[in-house]
């Protein structure tokens, strides 16, 4: 993927077939809109997605697997954290979770019934290397071999994430986890090991899920594992080691992958949404996109920290070498973004970066998760910014979904009309992006089923299948019926 494309050259490069500039955005269905989909209904260009669009669902290892002591798995920082009283709501743990380690065949059948083309799951590092580094545990990787084979036997493409927060505890104990450069190195070794053994069948690999969450919430706010409250240089250096781990892993993956393997990332970028869609506010949002993601996606895409970030950090700026920046910005085949919620911005000529954040008013609607403000156009602006600022050629929405109260009705069904409304509205905005030729190739709904929602334990449900944790029974919610229709028609329903 070529980098360092600024806004002006971008418009030139993409020309008429590419994205349009902010000043000449077509309205939905306008003359620039090319109908591309294959909806079951004809002539409904407003709803169709491009042919071959990859519809999927997503999960993560610690949130669903359980079986934390089985087949030689080592402890992760999330085992330690969830077993520390007071850290997770109701002191819930992932010890059993959805028991997916044993029920994976059932869960693949749920996907098959939905008709998904792809499944994004994560690999538990401490299953593969119980101590993070040192001797591997082949029995741990065997689980993913079984899962991948089962997916392929059911015509579902596996998309694997190497790190979704379950860091081997031993790395935390010995090196301070991501505070230590050693962890970045160990991550690359683990990435190379897994890649060599899975990429005969797994063609899409994500390095790391959401720096913006596991570093900020885990190492800065202390709300997630490992529960630290770092500040200043220590925090910035930890952020730097995490992106360095990503870059080293990309290199290790390239070195050991079978041909045809594609590598990317899954980041929960902060998504600046212009308060009003005028050229000035849009330009402010684009500037905000670079600055608000400076420590993570921006340095990965541009190979440099922004001047404003370094200047604001002053003496606390991370220490790095030019060689490290090169590693961090190793070219990617695709960019994955997790999209939930917006950050509204407005133009502000008095600011050195040209924008100001606009806080959510108290009345702004949100899901049961207090942080999940509902703004469907985040799913338009997220991929549009990525494509326009960095000329990304292949984008995946690696997560999108919402929590809901999800109470089963008398007939046992969960009629989650709020989630259906959320998904329909967000997908309409994603459709707007693909209609403008933003190169979004696929969408992974979070989540296949209710699961361990980190510090919220089992109190917040994100699934389109309801899970009764006492019996491990999975039941499709109304949103699963909705999603099945979307997939079948390749269109917003």
Catalytic amino acids? 210, 399
Residue 268 binds to ligand GBH (criterion: CB under 6 A):
yes
Query: Among 76, 73, 323, 68, which residue's Cα sits nearest to residue 177?
Result: 76
Cβ-defined contacts of 300-304 (< 8 Å, 24+): 300/243, 300/246, 300/247, 300/265, 300/328, 300/329, 300/332, 301/3, 301/329, 301/335, 301/389, 301/390, 301/392, 302/3, 302/4, 302/329, 302/390, 303/3, 303/4, 303/328, 303/329
- Distance (Å, rounded) from C-alpha 7 to C-alpha 298? 15
Alpha-helix runs per DSSP H in 121-267: 125-128, 138-153, 169-175, 181-198, 211-214, 232-256
Please work out the total of residues on this chain that contact ligand GBH, with binding judged by CB under 6 A: 17
Least CB distance to ligand GBH at residue 160 (A):
15
Kindly state the smallest distance separating residue 217's Cβ from ligand GBH, in Å.
4
Contact mark string toward ligand GBH, 457..486, x via CB under 6 A:
-----x------------------------
Separation between Cα atoms, residue 279 and residue 468, nearest integer Å? 49
DSSP assignments along 436-455, one per residue: TT--EEEEEEE-SS----GG
Q: To which H or E segment does residue 428 belong?
A: helix 417-435
Comparison of 375 and 491: residue with beta carbon closer to ligand GBH:
375
Q: Tell whether residue 89 is a contact of ligand GBH (CB under 6 A).
A: no
Verify binding: residue 453, ligand GBH, rule CB under 6 A: yes
Residue nearest to ligand GBH (CB): 213
What whole-number distance in Å separates Cα of residue 424 and Cα of residue 483?
Answer: 9
Q: What string marks each residue from 288 to 327 as x (binds ligand GBH by CB under 6 A) or -? A: ----------------------------------------
- To ligand GBH, the closest distance from the beta carbon of 213 in angstroms equals 4
Q: With respect to ligand GBH, which residue has the nearer C-beta, 37 or 401?
A: 401
Is 377 a binding residue for ligand GBH by CB under 6 A? The answer is no
Q: With binding defined as CB under 6 A, does residue 338 bind ligand GBH? A: yes
CB 403 → ligand GBH: shortest distance, Å?
A: 7
Binding mask 394-423 for ligand GBH (x = CB under 6 A): -----x------------------------
Q: Which of these ranges, 195-203, 206-214, 230-238, 316-324, lies near ligand GBH under the rule CB under 6 A?
A: 206-214
Count the residues in the chain: 493
d(CA 294, CA 304): 9
Site string for ligand GBH, 169-188 (x = CB under 6 A): --------------------
- 54-58 and 118-122 as β-strands: parallel, antiparallel, unpaired? parallel
- Distance in Å, CB of 338 to ligand GBH, minimum: 6
Residue closer to ligand GBH by CB (options 237, 268) is 268
Q: Is the dihedral of CA 385, 388, 390, 396 positive or negative?
A: positive
- CB 466, min distance to ligand GBH, A: 16
Contact 414, 427 (CB under 8 A): no
Residues that bind ligand GBH (CB under 6 A): 60, 63, 209-210, 213, 217, 221, 223, 268, 338, 340, 371, 399, 446, 453, 455, 462
């Amino acid at each position: 993927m070529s980098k360092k494309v600024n806004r002006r050259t971008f418009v030139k490069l993409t020309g008429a077939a590419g994205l349009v500039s902010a000043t000449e955005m077509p309205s939905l269905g306008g003359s620039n809109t090319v109908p591309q989909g294959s909806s079951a209904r004809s002539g409904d260009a407003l709803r169709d997605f491009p042919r071959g669009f990859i519809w999927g669902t997503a999960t993560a290892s610690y949130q669903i697997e359980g079986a934390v002591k089985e087949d030689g798995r080592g402890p992760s920082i999330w085992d330690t954290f969830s077993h520390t009283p007071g850290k997770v709501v109701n002191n819930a743990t992932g010890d059993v979770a959805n028991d997916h380690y044993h029920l994976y065949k059932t869960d693949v059948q749920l996907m098959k019934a939905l008709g998904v083309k792809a499944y994004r799951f994560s690999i538990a590092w401490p299953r593969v290397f119980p101590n993070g580094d040192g001797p591997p545990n082949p029995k741990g990787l065997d689980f993913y071999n079984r899962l991948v084979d089962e997916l392929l036997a059911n015509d579902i493409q596996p998309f694997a994430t190497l790190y979704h927060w379950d860091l081997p505890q031993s790395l935390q104990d010995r090196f301070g986890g991501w505070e230590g450069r050693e962890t970045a190195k160990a991550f690359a070794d683990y990435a190379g090991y897994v890649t060599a053994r899975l990429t005969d069948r797994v063609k899409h690999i994500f390095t790391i899920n959401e720096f913006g969450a596991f570093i900020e919430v885990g190492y800065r706010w202390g709300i997630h594992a490992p529960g630290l409250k770092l500040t200043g240089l220590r925090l910035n250096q930890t952020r730097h080691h995490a992106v360095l781990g990503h870059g080293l892993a990309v290199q290790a993956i390239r070195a050991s992958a079978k041909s045809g393997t594609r590598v990317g990332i899954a980041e929960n970028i902060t998504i600046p949404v212009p308060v009003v869609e005028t050229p000035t506010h849009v330009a402010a949002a684009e500037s905000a996109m670079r600055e608000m993601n400076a420590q993570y996606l921006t340095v990965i895409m541009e190979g440099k920290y922004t001047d404003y970030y370094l200047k604001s950090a002053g003496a606390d700026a991370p220490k790095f070498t030019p060689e490290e920046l090169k590693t961090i910005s190793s070219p990617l085949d695709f960019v994955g973004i997790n999209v939930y919620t917006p950050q509204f911005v407005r133009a502000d000529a008095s600011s050195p970066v040209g924008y100001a954040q606009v806080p959510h008013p108290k009345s702004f609607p949100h899901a049961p998760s207090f942080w999940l403000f509902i703004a469907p156009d985040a799913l338009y602006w997220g991929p549009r910014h990525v494509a326009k600022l960095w000329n990304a050629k292949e984008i995946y929405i690696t997560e999108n979904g919402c929590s809901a109260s999800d109470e089963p009705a008398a007939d046992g069904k969960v009629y989650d009309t709020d989630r259906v409304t959320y998904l329909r509205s967000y997908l309409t905005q994603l459709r707007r992006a693909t209609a403008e030729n933003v190169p979004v190739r696929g969408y992974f709904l979070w989540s296949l089923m209710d699961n361990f929602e980190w510090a919220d334990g089992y109190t917040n449900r994100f699934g389109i299948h309801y899970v009764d944790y006492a019996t491990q029974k999975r039941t499709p919610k109304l949103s699963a019926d909705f999603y099945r229709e979307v997939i079948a028609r390749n269109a917003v329903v």
